[in-house]
Each structure stands twice: as C-alpha cells, then as structure tokens.
Amino acid sequence: MLQQQIQIKSEAVMNNSKNTLAGLAAALCMVLPSLVAAQEPIPNTQIVVEQPWARASLGTSRPAGAYLTLRNLGDTVISLTGLEADISGMASVHQSKTDANGISSMSPAGDIEIPVGGTVALEPGGYHAMLMKLQAPLIEGETFPMTLLFSDDTELTVDVPIFGMGARGPEG
C-alpha cells in the first residue's frame, strides 16, 4: 500500500516538475512521518491488568502458561486481540475447556471482549497466555515483560512475575 503510494506520488511529481530528486524527496517527506508514527505503540489507558503471573518452565522446549485479569475502566467495549513477549517467539491466547465427560481440550481463543465496567480473567482451566518457542527459561522469582494487544490498536505492557511450576493461582 505505502509503496504504491510512494510510486504514484513520485510519478506524479516527476511528470510535472521533471525533477526526479525533488519528486522523490517530496514523496518521502509525505510518507515517512506516517511510517514512523505507525510504529510508535499507542498505550492503552482504559484497561487495568490485575494479578499477572506465570508458571516457571523446565527449559525452553515446552510452552509456558501465563495468567492475569483485565478490567475495563473505559466506556467502550474493547477486545484483547493478541500477545507479544520477547521471551516467547510465538505467544497467543488459548482457551481450555472441559466438557461434561471430563474431557479437556484447548484451542486458540480468538478475540476476547472485555465488557465496559467488567473483567475477563485468564486463569487455569480457561483462557491463558500460551508462550511458545521460549527464548529463555521462565525462572521462579524472576519477571518478564508481556505486551497485550487490543482491538483499537493500543497496547499495554506488564511485568509478569514467575511462580513455581506447581503454582495454582496469583497467590502462588
């Protein structure tokens, strides 16, 4: 899209002025600021993250799980659309479900709506942050930053404390 715009704009400028350099420079001046702006994250101000925690991992070969509660203090519904964490080469929200037969399974959660004035919990047995392709082991007692991505293109980075492998909740 942007490249096309640059081409179109450059061609238009070149044809008119026949000054290639000036044309390109003009096009770049118009496009570059928006490119830079697009990469600057917009912090989310309406969601509060409560009680983040993760289980320690044994090495890096298995996916780790992290949990937290999202509280929507704003006056619009917003959705959690994804996750990023430097410690994980592939992070996403998954959902565990257990049916009436005691059979548990897990699948990608998709977007998760956080109602106005309400909360959504990522907790064991339900939604969870699945951190795959670990770049380093999750070591008990340490923390790592995790960025939550929202439907309005805002994001929020939280420090997630790492509890033991057998931790059952935010209290450890």
Partner 1 sequence: MKKVRVILWSMVVIATTVVGGVWIAGGFQNKLPASRTISTAGFAADFELTDYKGMVQTDEDFRGQWMLVFFGFTNCPDVCPMGLSTIAQVLDDLGAVGEALQPVFITVDPARDTPAVLAEYVPQFDTRIIGLSGSAEQIERTGKAFKIYYQRNEDEAAPDGYTMGHTSSFLLFDPNGEFVRIYEYNQKPTEIVSDLQKRLGA
Chain residues binding partner 1 by CB under 8 A are 55, 58, 62-65, 81-82, 90, 92, 94, 96, 98, 100-108, 110-111, 124-125, 128, 130-133, 153, 165-168
As measured in angstroms, the least distance from the Cβ of 95 to partner 1 is 9
User: Which has the closest alpha carbon to 89: 135, 35, 150, 21?
Assistant: 135
Closer by beta carbon to partner 1, 48 or else 94: 94
Using the minimum distance from each CB to partner 1, give the nearer residue, 48 or 137: 137
* Helices 2-17 and 20-39, axial angle in degrees (round to 10): 160
Identity of the residue, 10 or 88, whose beta carbon is nearer to partner 1 in the bound complex: 88
Closest approach, Cβ 8 to partner 1, in A, equals: 21
Sign of CA dihedral 157, 158, 159, 164: negative
- Say how many C-beta atoms besides its own lie within 10 A of residue 121's C-beta: 15
* Identity of the residue, 15 or 105, whose beta carbon is nearer to partner 1 in the bound complex: 105
Residue partners of 112: CB distance under 8 A and separation at least 6: 79, 80, 93, 120, 127
In angstroms, rounded to a whole number, what is the distance separating the alpha carbons of residues 83 and 108?
12
Which CB, 22 or 106, lies closer to partner 1? Answer: 106
Q: In sequence order, what are the residues at sequence separation of 6 or more whose Cβ sits closer than 8 angstroms to the Cβ of residue 14?
A: 20, 23
